[in-house]
Amino acid sequence: MVKKIEAVVEGMTCAACSTRIAKSLNKQEGVLDASVNLAAEKAYIVYDPKKISPDTLIKTVERAGYSLILDKARAMTEEERFRKTRANFIIALIFAGPGALLMLFHMLGWLHLPYWDYIEIVLTLPVLFFSGRHVMKNALLSILSLSPGMDVLIAMGSLASLSTGIMRVFGVPVSNFALVGSMIIAFHLLGKYLEAAAKGKASRAIKALIEFGAKNARVLVDGVETEIPVDQLKIGDIAVIRPGDKIPSDGEVIEGYSAVDESMISGESVPVEKKTGDPVIGSTINGTGVMKIKITKIGRDTFLSQLIRLVEEAQAGKVPIQEFADKVTGVFVPVLVGIAAAVFLFWYFLPDLGDSIMKWGTGWIPWVDPSMNRLSRAVFAAVATLVIACPCALGLATPMAIMVGGGLGARHGILIRNGEAIEMMKDIDTALFDKTGTITEGKPDVAEIFHTPGFDEFTVVLASLEQYSEHPLAGAVREYAKAHALKLTEPEEFRAIPGKGVSGKIGGTMYYAGSPGLMRENGGDLSEFAGALDTANADGLSIICLGSPGMVYGFVTLADKMKPDSKTAIEALKAIGVTPIMVTGDNEKTAKRIAREAGIEHVYSGVLPGQKIDIVNRLKAEGRKVVMIGDGINDAPALKGADVGIAIGTGTDIAIEAGDITLVNGSLTGVERAVRLSRAIFVKIRQNLFWAFFYNLVAIPMAAMGLLHPVIAEAAMAFSSINVILNSLRLNGVKLE
């Protein structure tokens, strides 16, 4: 039996780290799939427990130089990681800050300290080997595993700088850049500190969901209300929900009535009415009524827990465009080391060309020092080249945008389950809608009532007969009677007539309720209602007639009512260039009526579930980008076959396994919002990748030419990553309403 685990990964610093861990895991026999998300700092592993154990997975990651923590309770919290990052930066600043000032004064001739070369080394060592110890460790391990990452560039640059101080102490004629090494590490840690702060904002969607959880519950124990922590709830417990309470866990109303604020899971602000028999979702907020609910789900099985898990998985997903960035970062570090080596050789063995560059830069670039000898120049340029081009920004460009965008979608009831769906959704031009339960409510409802003048008890008699009928249409009549508070009568001699209707005596009169054919069998004349019946039949409406021997008193029409916002949703899709098409197993008349009401011009009716996939494939063959929207069960083949499948979910019955995207509240307005969200996410991804590449394109040549100070190079590198994160956070400003 295959298992899937989600684990925290500690120690990652760049995209090369996540790639290395994923490769290490995927090489193991028994691991079917492993993906690692840098932004979320998590690994998602599908494995065969018969072939590999969790302990082996942990050791595999440890050999790569990182920690895999299966028990989330043992992992450092985001706040703890943030504090650790901040502490490392502060310690680095304590040594590198004064060192930088002393170096500046020394360079300007304002201060001449004895043993200056020794002072530089002493101030640098704690920064490199205490504050930056994890950088050095990760660099060594990544070299040994033949998959060098960003830490290698930082370590090589800072160690090369430190080596100049050591060489100078031993008499080698070279400028002392030891303090530059400490400042490289300090700026690197500053970047990580600011990244951690920004990532905290990016993950606020999940934080908000976790914080939504109720802490306590009032349960009935031997008829007495007792307050207990939510984690002590058991299935079957009866909880009392008072006005303003958070519902403690998923359950079913067994007594009372209220309206519940479900905006945390649907994004919709209008409270949802709840009565006996209705399901309720844990952590939603009760309105003004008092209810008793029976707990049906607890812990990991609750809707909120599933929602959090889905959001995390969605944020961890990769889009195809990210594969390109990952390939680039995979070769980036070795190429950069080669470029840095070439830069060193150029400056050392071609000093005349170096002099020309120095003369050109002298005067307008303050750190260009023509007095440096060729060894000093070679180290200066090579170190700047090493640290300027770390692929952090490239590695963060896509996952940060997905993390923020996925959180934004979750807050609006749009759960994106995989990265490909995010990329495909932006190009969708055709939306294929199932009818029943998607565009419509999915249950019959009384539409119109026609009866003979003077027979005012028509609906009471009809509902009294239908209250014991098992036919699906009878349920609509019962709901109508309940909504209108009709006082029903117990029928005598009640009898179900298979395929036709029911009969029974009320007030001494025998009545029949059912099809027009049943009326005719009992001598009823339908001519009085012929026009209305023809219209109802033409519109594909269902009909229940009421009569007695030799008489027909009238009939009701029943229809699967369209959802209130379906028409608005269809219009919104048209406005952004998406063509809506209905595909349904219902008859042509009914399908065309609903399509006309919804504003859909193209209809496929009488289609079996297995034939829907054929329509999807035909549309795709025409070059269309197709999204299929359905209930996630009967439409599963079509949902899977479409470019993107969207499952309509309602409450706790959410069909999360069928589609690439799930609309939690069942509202079709989410389809258009999902298209706009996808487009917004991809605007940010493209912006992030552009600036990451553009920055390297400009910065690497400047560093190679000796025109970029290593400290400024490291600062620029760090802030390029921060820019990517901040740009991604701007997605939170996208309006999906």
Active site residues per annotation: 434
Helix (H, G, I), strand (E, B) or coil at 115: coil
Of 117, 119, 104, which Cα lies nearest the Cα of 166?
117
For the chain, state the CA radius of gyration: 35
Task: Name the DSSP letter for residue 51.
Answer: T
Q: Contact, 213 vs 283, CB < 8 A?
A: yes
The token duo for 65 is 């130089």
Helix residue ranges, H only, 467-577: 472-483, 516-521, 530-538, 566-575
Helix (H, G, I), strand (E, B) or coil at 523: coil
Q: Contact, 533 vs 507, CB < 8 A?
A: no
Q: Contact, 10 vs 76, CB < 8 A?
A: yes
Q: Which residue matches tokens 């009878």?
A: 474
* CB proximity list for 237: less than 8 A, separation 6 or greater: 217, 219, 220, 294, 295
Edge-to-edge order in the sheet of strand 251-256: 224-229, 216-221, 238-241, 291-295, 251-256, 279-280
> For residue 174, is it left (φ>0), alpha (ψ between -120 and 50) or beta?
beta
Q: Contact, 388 vs 706, CB < 8 A?
A: no
Beta pairing class for 430-433 and 579-583: parallel
Using alpha carbons, list the distances in angstroms from residue 161 to 121, 177, 333, 492, 533: 10, 5, 19, 100, 92
Is the Cα dihedral 21, 191, 392, 382 positive or negative?
A: negative
Which helix (H) or strand (E) covers residue 416, if one does?
A: strand 414-416
Distance CA 491, CA 510 (A): 9
Distance CA 304, CA 208 (A): 11
Distance CA 52, CA 344 (A): 47
Question: Distance of alpha carbon 246 from its chain centroid, rounded?
Answer: 25
Task: Name the DSSP letter for residue 544.
Answer: E
Which helix (H) or strand (E) covers residue 32, if one does?
A: strand 31-37
Q: Contact, 393 vs 695, CB < 8 A?
A: yes
Task: Name the DSSP letter for residue 650.
Answer: -
Residues in the chain: 737
> For residue 599, is it left (φ>0), alpha (ψ between -120 and 50) or beta?
left
